[in-house]
A and B are shown apart, each in its own frame.
Chain A
Amino acid sequence: MEKFKTITSTYVPLPIENVDTDQIIPARFLKATTREGFGDNLFSDWRYDKEGNPKEDFVLNDPTYTGEVLVAGKNFGSGSSREHAAWAIGGYGFKVVVSSFFADIFRNNALNNGILPVVISDEFLSELFASSSKNPKATVTVNLEEQTIVNNETGRSESFEINAYKKDCLLKGLDDIDFLMSNRDKILEYENKRAFSY
């Protein structure tokens, strides 16, 4: 995994609530056996019409909005556990997703792929949507080390939470398997001492 570095970037606003992982990547694209190529089908049914032509009214097809940060409405990533959703977001080029609320499994999947989910208040989220609609070139700065996000348009900042272990993993580019494999003795010990085993 790549190490996570501080990002200052324009952002893509998606002010829709409850964006489920079926919208992020529809099921018919889950037939692949590798992790690559999902970015092309990110938000496929919102992005393309039946003939595969880009729909003009969808934000990813609007060249005004670009950047490495996706800012989305409340409860982002609900529904299916498909990690393909995180692969699609990462594959498209997003490194950070900002929302006022994330579904649990999506949040874990994002973190396991070096994508940072940043939780901010509803007010801050509304302000980010307002800033980008006034100025599409508005930027945010996301600093993982300091756990802060700044709206550079207004100067407003908020701190966000992440557990110390995951923060360390992202900063160092490590994943959980590295950790678990180094912990084999503890697993064997557990198996031997547990009260009831199946």
Chain B
Amino acid sequence: MKTLFDKVWDAHVVTKVKDGPTQLYIDRHLCHEVTSPQAFSGLRERGLKVFRPEQTTLTADHNIPTMGQEKPIRDEISRFQVETLAKNARDFGLTYYGLGHSKNGIVHVIGPENGFTQPGMTIVCGDSHTSTHGAFGAIAFGIGTSEVEMVLASQCILQTRPKTMRINFEGKLNENVGAKDMALYMISQLTTGGATGYFVEYAGEAVRNLTMEQRMTLCNLSIEMGARGGLIAPDETTFNYIKGRQFAPKDERWDEALAYWKTLKTDEGAVFDKEVTFDAAKIPPMITYGTNPGMGMPIDGTIPTLDDIDNAGKISFEKSLKYMGFEPGEKLVGKQIDYVFLGSCTNGRIEDFRQFTDYVKGKKKADNVTAWLVPGSWQVRRQIKDEGLDKILQEAGFEIRQPGCSACLAMNDDKVPAGKYAVSTSNRNFEGRQGPGARTILASPLVAAAAAVNGKITQP
């Protein structure tokens, strides 16, 4: 009796190193400009080629502007980094979706939307949110640059087999509650290191009922509780999403793949190292109040007091609230905010834009709010236009920017100024994440929309 994780892992074991890690075969490798240049330099120094060039795809996303992409990047160092990626693609014969390419976008958005991401695969990228692809029943995880070099050189990686955890969301979600709230709720319960050493399978009625976009949001945030990855057994929702996408199997290959993918589920009676169950009906719309994603609470909740925190954690807790400008025991609902960011590999997909648009339709953006709406890819941006969402957003006072990681990590000009509050649909509220001194409140697209039109934290 095997878990879904065991089935996929076991199918990719090349060999087990004696008293050491497993040599795991990698089906798909995605690269971006920030974590790959040193890996390609390493190959050059060692005189190595890319072993399986057709299994690696490159895109520029982290360090690019979200306005004026048709012009050369102004920041010289950023431009050089993106040019280096293009050069590496040419020198090593790799597919590259650079700026201006119709398939360009955030690495974890373009993988699924083009059909690269498929059930049962192993997928890696030099980016911790690679866990996103687990939504398709793949073992997908983030790696460091030395490991990027390993995969380029050998299509393999050395990994210690993680422990397994199943997180069940039983029952149905409430209205106005989605995958982002599930994730922030779960991380607030398990803490930011609570799943370190584990690979998580998400299960239960509430997970089964999620769309692929929402499943991606949930799996995306697995790393924020320390898990290497999170995955969901593929089902009809998954198969319907993949079918017909450019790199999806076709004709007879499709039938063959489907037959295999249908076997990818945890056997009845298979045992996990740890199992956790949440009641989906108890999950409210969530926000964060601190400087790690585990510091979350119901939108109408109160920040914990010092008495709630253990001794070793008190210094960090106080430092965190001081940074955020909040007091222990404070309520945040009604608090004025300055910025709203809709986007990132967590919530930059078409469904996130539909949800945001649906809320702001017929309303107006608050004057005190600067809003950055950044689609996850050019395909998402095209879809926003095709569905007429851009017009509704424009009438409400919002504009759509060009795709990229943008204010999620603020490597480009999209930086929240010091001391300002941003309600952000991204994944990390770390100190300085959205710009030096920026104060991030993580939330769902719906909570972000409510904040954008009311100018303050508002129950959606």
Partner of A181, one of B25, B48, B315, B432: B48
The answer to whether A187 and B14 have CB atoms under 8 Å apart is yes
The residues of B that contact A104 with a CB separation of less than 8 Å are 162, 196-197, 226, 228
Known pairs A101-B196, A187-B25; A78 contacts B226 (CB<8 A): yes
CA distance A186 to B12 in the complex (A): 12
Query: In the complex, are the beta carbons of A78 and B192 less than 8 A apart?
Result: yes
Residue of B nearest to A180 (CB): B154
Interface residues of B in 84-134 (CB under 8 A from A): 84, 118, 120-121, 126-128
Write out the residue numbers on chain A whose beta carbons fall within 8 Å of the beta carbon of B312.
Answer: 17, 73-74, 122, 126
Docked Cα-Cα span, A97 to B292, in Å, equals: 21
* Cβ distance B126 to chain A, nearest Cβ, rounded Å: 6
Decide if B193 touches A79 in the complex (CB within 8 Å). no
Asked if B149 and A177 sit within 8 Å, CB to CB, the answer is: yes
Chain A residues within an 8 Å CB radius of B252: none
- Residue from B25, B154, B193, B436 in contact with A18 in the complex, judged by beta carbons closer than 8 Å: B193
Per the bound structure, the CA–CA distance linking A195 and B264 in Å amounts to: 14
Chain B minimum-CB-distance residue to A109? B144
Cα separation A81 to B27 with both chains bound (whole Å): 20
Q: For the complex, what is the distance from the CA of A81 to the CA of B315, rounded to whole Å?
A: 25
B144 touches A196 (CB 8 A): no
Is there contact, CB below 8 Å, between A26 and B145?
A: no
Q: Is residue A53 contacting chain B, with contact meaning CB distance below 8 A?
A: no
The stretch of B75-83, B348-356, B362-370, B385-393 in contact with A is B75-83
- A-B interface contact total, Cβ < 8 Å: 203
Is A10 on the interface with B (CB-CB < 8 A)? no
Stretch at the interface among A62-70, A149-157, A158-166: A158-166
Contacts of A186 in B (CB 8 A): 14-15, 23
Q: In this assembly, does A135 line the interface, its C-beta being within 8 Å of a C-beta of chain B?
A: no
B11→A108 contact, CB < 8 A = no
Query: What would 7 more interface pairs be, CB under 8 Å, given A45-B436, A74-B312, A198-B121?
Result: A31-B411, A101-B196, A104-B196, A109-B146, A122-B312, A177-B154, A180-B158
Cβ of B442 within 8 Å of any chain A Cβ, yes or no, is: no
Task: Please tell me if the beta carbons of B14 and A26 are within 8 angstroms of each other in the complex.
Answer: no
Chain B's closest residue to A166 (CB) is B20
Instruction: Identify which of residues 43-82 in chain A touch chain B, using a CB-to-CB cut-off of 8 Å.
Output: 45, 50, 73-75, 78-82
Q: Across the interface, do A20 and B292 meet the contact criterion of CB distance under 8 Å?
A: yes
List the A side residues contacting B48 at CB < 8 Å. 181
Taken residue by residue from 414 to 427, chain B's Cβ proximity to chain A (1 for < 8 Å, 0 otherwise) reads as 00001000000000
A16 at the interface (CB under 8 A from B): yes
Comparing B32-40, B238-246, B299-307, B325-333, the segment that makes contact with chain A is B32-40
Closest B residue to A102 by CB, please name it: B196
Output the residue of B80, B147, B162 with the most chain A CB within 10 A. B147
Taking a contact as CB atoms under 8 Å apart, the answer to whether B154 and A183 are in contact is yes
Q: In this assembly, does B460 line the interface, its C-beta being within 8 Å of a C-beta of chain A?
A: no
Interface residues on B, range: 35 or more
Q: Once the chains are docked, how many angstroms separate the CA of A17 from the CA of B48?
A: 40
CB of A76 to closest CB in B, whole Å: 10
Contact between chains at B292 and A16 (CB < 8 Å) = no
Of B142, B228, B319, B432, most A-chain CB atoms within 10 Å: B432
Distance to closest chain B CB from A186 (angstroms): 5
Q: Which residues of B contact A190 (CB under 8 A)?
A: 14, 25
| CA A73 to CA B15, docked complex, whole Å | 36
Can you list, as one digit per residue, whether each of B137-169 has a CB less than 8 Å from chain A (1) or not (0)?
000001111110110011110101010000000
Given A16-B319, A183-B154, A196-B11: A75 in contact with B192 (beta carbons within 8 A): yes
Asked whether, in the complex, the Cβ of B128 is within 8 Å of the Cβ of A18, the reply is: no
| CA–CA, A88 and B260, complex, Å | 44
Q: Does residue B215 face the partner (Cβ distance < 8 Å to A)?
A: no
Complex Cα–Cα for A112 and B256 (A): 39
CB-CB under 8 A from B84, the residues of chain A are 33
- B25 and A78 contact, CB distance less than 8 A: no
Q: Is the CB of B269 closer than 8 A to any CB of chain A?
A: no
Partner of A194, one of B11, B18, B197: B11
A122 CA / B313 CA spacing, docked (Å)? 12
Tell me which residues from 103 to 117 in chain A have a Cβ below 8 Å from any Cβ of chain B. 103-105, 108-109, 112-113
